Structure 1
Amino acid sequence: MTPTKTSSHLKTMLSLAAATSALALTALPMEAEAATRMRCSHQLPPSHHISKVIERWAAEVKTLSDGNLDVQVFGADSLIKANDNILAVAKGDIECAFSLNFQWGKTLPLMNVTVGPYTMSSIDAWRKWPTSEAAAFLEERLLKKGVRNVVWMFQTNTSVFTSKGKPLLTPADFRGQKMRGIGPAFDRGLKAMGATPVAIPGSEVYQALATGVIDSAITDVAAAWSRKYYEVQDHMTVVPVLAAYLHGYVNPRWYDTLTDKDKAALKKAGEDAAGWALEASQEAAASAPAELESKGVKVHIATAEENAAFKAAMAPAFAEGFADETGADGRKLLELVQKLQ
């Protein structure tokens, strides 16, 4: 059957429409690839100075990766509990987390090297830390435990012994105190002074103090403010007894799937954030004592003689425990730390 003039015209119009649609589609920008999700868990409350540094770090990672790394931060134990973060990242349940060094406990006791009583309280040493041999040594050991370190965040070299009713000014004052501990090796020093250390996550210490489960605690001076310890403790003794840091780490298998650009973004953001954390921590440590006093806390800055007495009581017990837990690796790490002093 011979096509009519109308049917031929219709075919021509349809062909033109199809061609036009195809041309229009090729002119449209390609749909952007989905960003790589990066869920990061940590325990700190929003008001904590390091919590704010983590938020800044996350924004920097996203910027440097041109939005390809979608960093989602979950603070205050809102995604994973503090003591479960390490395993969650190692297993790949989440991509990223932050932990305090002493939360590694017996899994990697080397991480506790800086909590040795009066071992590393120098700010100059902490400025060198992120790119030091000591940090690289720990990064290698962390990888063997199933996580890849991406950022070091110095938190404090200024702690407080908190108490209620009377201050803790001498080793003898610790006798009979049920006290929040921070890890096996450090807690040996508390035991040496007569205290009974109790293992409690940071997010639960306030309630434990309020209800009398424990009598006293040791914490970062800025954390005593941000966690509102002043509501349940009325005496605080400021001591440079330990240095603590938070560190950010990711699942190695997830990391290996990233582009070189995204890996570079994590590296640069980590280097920058290490500096931000140091600045923020110094500012927080400087302002916290006065802020605590404004809430009625009797704040005492330990004297040189008082610090010497604490060191004499605590250091030998810590050294014995650290040596038992870490062996040859511990001796090597202590040598590397001494290079920073």
Structure 2
Amino acid sequence: MHRRHLLALPLAAGISAPAIRTAAAQSATVMRLSHQYPPSHHIAGVLANFAAEVKARSNGAVDVQVFPAEQLARVAENFPGVARGAFEAAVATNFTWGNTIPEMSAQTVPFFFTGLEQNRRFPKSEARRFLDGITARRAVRSVAWLFTTNSAIFTSGRKALVNPEDFRGVKIRGINTLIDQSLTAVGAAPAATPAPEVVGALQSGILDAGLTDVSAAVSRRFYEVQKYGTVSPFFSVSTQVYVNPRWWDGLRPDARSVIEAALEKAEVEAVDVTVRTAEAAVGELREKGMTITVQTPEQVAQWRDVMQKPVMDAFLRQAPENGPRLLELLRAV
């Protein structure tokens, strides 16, 4: 026994500090999170801060590895990837759920749920819990909602899109079949285009006009390919963070608590960052040479009169069971 202890001493003494740190890192709980935003996007920054917060709160015991700009998976691959456990987490803007969860598009009914305070209250609301319950039926677990925008921008190269008649015949970025109803109502020709592909489509002439949030117009450099922009409280967009439920349920309680606390902090941060970034983005787009029109209340009313009803009707057709209740809950937020 004495000899065995002596033989073990050099082995123990030979373990270096880096090796110990490596072993500790290997034993950390890993959360790989895929998203589509470029690193310069404000929500990408919120997610990066979330990862740093988890590391600090857990003393490195939980390692959130964030993969921006579709580095881990393309947007369409995120949901199946998380559902089958290929990676632990991803994000989705509410409208990208499309027909999979049609209720998610309620917030994107034009000019319906665009108030800042409504969006600030949403993560604590019954409407959020209602949507989380619907998400749970789709083999993933919703764990956070990050307010992303209530300030859209319609960009164009030939003339500003200010009045409803300006859209006639314009090939514009579509988002989903529901939102596209509003664009069709004013005579535009929407074409569904993932966010990372819009600038290329505008540059090549596949699209005449773009539709994105005003901050993304800066981070994705729309000003390099478009001359005009109309800023509108068109709809609200939130970024939902979701996880693999088997992985989530298998976490140690302390690890889950750390992640939940950091996500709650991120939900608050997202509101302030979104407002600040949107305000700065309008000025930056002007500095980059774009001619920017910020809609007046009269122009908002004019667009709403034409665009809202066909989308509201289409939403209720797509979500006949849960749609009316969700609209009621959103109005109460």
Report the TM-score when normalising by structure 1.
0.91
Deviations 1:57-114 (A, max 9, x none): 1111223333232211111011100122111111111111111111100000111111
- Aligned counterparts, 1:1-341, within 5 A: 16-20=2-6, 32=24, 34-340=27-333
Residues 238-247 or 23-32, more deviating: 23-32
Deviations 1:156-183 (A, max 9, x none): 0011111112000111111101110111
Letter in 2 for 1:115: T
Cα distance in 2, alignment partners of residues 157 and 44 from structure 1? 17
Is the CA contact 1:180–1:205 (under 8 Å) kept in the aligned structure 2? Answer: yes
Cα distance in 1, alignment partners of residues 235 and 208 from structure 2? 20
Cα distance in 2, alignment partners of residues 114 and 312 from structure 1? 17
Deviations 1:277-318 (A, max 9, x none): 111100111111110011110000111111111101110111
Cα distance in 2, alignment partners of residues 114 and 106 from structure 1? 15
DSSP-derived class of the 2:160 partner: coil
Deviations 1:11-39 (A, max 9, x none): xxxx5343456689999999647112211
DSSP-derived class of the 1:153 partner: strand
Cα distance in 2, alignment partners of residues 103 and 293 from structure 1? 29
Deviations 1:209-237 (A, max 9, x none): 00000110111001111100001110000
DSSP-derived class of the 1:327 partner: coil
User: Number of matched residues?
Assistant: 326
Q: Quick check: which has more Rg, 1 or 2?
A: 1
DSSP-derived class of the 2:65 partner: strand
Cα distance in 1, alignment partners of residues 302 and 10 from structure 2? 80
Cα distance in 2, alignment partners of residues 26 and 215 from structure 1? 67
Seq. identity, %: 40
Letter in 1 for 2:111: Y
Cα distance in 2, alignment partners of residues 231 and 20 from structure 1? 70
Cα RMSD, aligned residues only:
1.9
| Stretches of structure 1 lacking an aligned partner (at least 5 in a row) | 1-14
Report the TM-score when normalising by structure 2.
0.93
| Stretches of structure 2 lacking an aligned partner (at least 5 in a row) | none
Cα distance in 1, alignment partners of residues 132 and 206 from structure 2? 36
DSSP-derived class of the 1:210 partner: helix
Is the CA contact 2:120–2:147 (under 8 Å) kept in the aligned structure 1? Answer: no
